[in-house]
């Protein structure tokens, strides 16, 4: 990679890649299953990963995988692509997939932006960005996942009518994400009343992270439609 290429690499939108040691049993399961679950390198054609899939959903930053696995179990005819750079989270997700015998989940153990760049136009029917790293310090806001360039990239891979759900329990990040996504002409915020963002959607699955209430406000849920071009 040239110095020029390095200068234009996006800032990391996530923190540590690993915390506590992965338990031997979980590490063995990940070594066994992840090669088959991993999304192949190069351009991605989601429909080839699961022929006959009714829709293709993308979860960015799936954490421990609880939400992703629950959504996959509830919609077995939908292919769910999950992206997560945190190795402990990937190990946890592989365990959920194995224990529930889920055949409709594929994983990218890395930066979601790398996966998005490899997806074709209009390939995604639904996107989840749930409780991403808030980078609360002002000097770190540039590292937040939701940036104007990310909004453009998501708009490209989402089909017209596709839905994007963003959730956070950091008020400043909610306001920042709302402003960023509303500024992107491809997205329409669908809320019509306060309960639309204050109340978890009917199909939302509460995760362990969400239950910890580490933010500075109650969880806020923002739903957007991908407009037709």
Distance set, CA 119 to CA 6, 56, 67, 181 (Å) = 22, 11, 22, 20
The verdict on whether 133 is a catalytic residue reads: yes
The upper half-sphere exposure of residue 204, i.e. CA atoms within 13 Å in the direction of its Cβ, equals 22
C-alpha to C-alpha distance for 73 and 166, rounded to whole angstroms: 21
C-alpha to C-alpha distance for 131 and 167, rounded to whole angstroms: 5
Q: Which of 121, 133, 169, 176 is catalytic?
A: 133
Alpha helices in the chain (DSSP H): 3-7, 24-37, 46-49, 66-74, 87-99, 112-118, 148-157, 171-183, 195-198, 208-212
Pairing of strands 158-168, 78-83: unpaired
Report the catalytic residues: 133
């Amino acid at each position: 990679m040239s110095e020029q290429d390095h200068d234009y690499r996006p800032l990391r939108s996530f923190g540590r890649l690993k915390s506590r040691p992965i338990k031997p049993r979980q590490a063995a399961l990940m070594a066994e299953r992840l090669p088959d679950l991993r999304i192949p390198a190069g351009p991605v054609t989601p429909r080839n990963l699961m022929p006959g899939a009714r829709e293709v959903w993308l979860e960015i930053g799936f954490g421990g995988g609880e939400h992703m696995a629950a959504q996959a179990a509830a919609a077995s005819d939908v292919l769910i692509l999950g992206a997560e750079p945190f190795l402990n989270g990937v190990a946890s997700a592989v365990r959920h997939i194995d224990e529930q015998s889920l055949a409709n989940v594929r994983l990218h153990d890395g930066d979601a932006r790398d996966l998005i760049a490899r997806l074709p136009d209009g390939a995604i029917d639904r996107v989840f960005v749930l409780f991403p790293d808030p980078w609360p310090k002002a000097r770190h806001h540039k590292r937040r996942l939701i940036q104007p360039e990310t909004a453009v990239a998501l708009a490209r891979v989402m089909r017209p009518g596709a839905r994007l759900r963003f959730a956070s329990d950091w008020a400043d990040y909610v306001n920042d994400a709302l402003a960023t996504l509303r500024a992107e002409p491809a997205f329409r915020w669908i809320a019509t009343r306060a309960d639309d963002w204050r109340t978890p959607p009917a199909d939302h699955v509460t995760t362990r992270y969400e239950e910890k209430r580490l933010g500075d406000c109650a969880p806020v849920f923002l739903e957007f439609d991908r407009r037709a071009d």
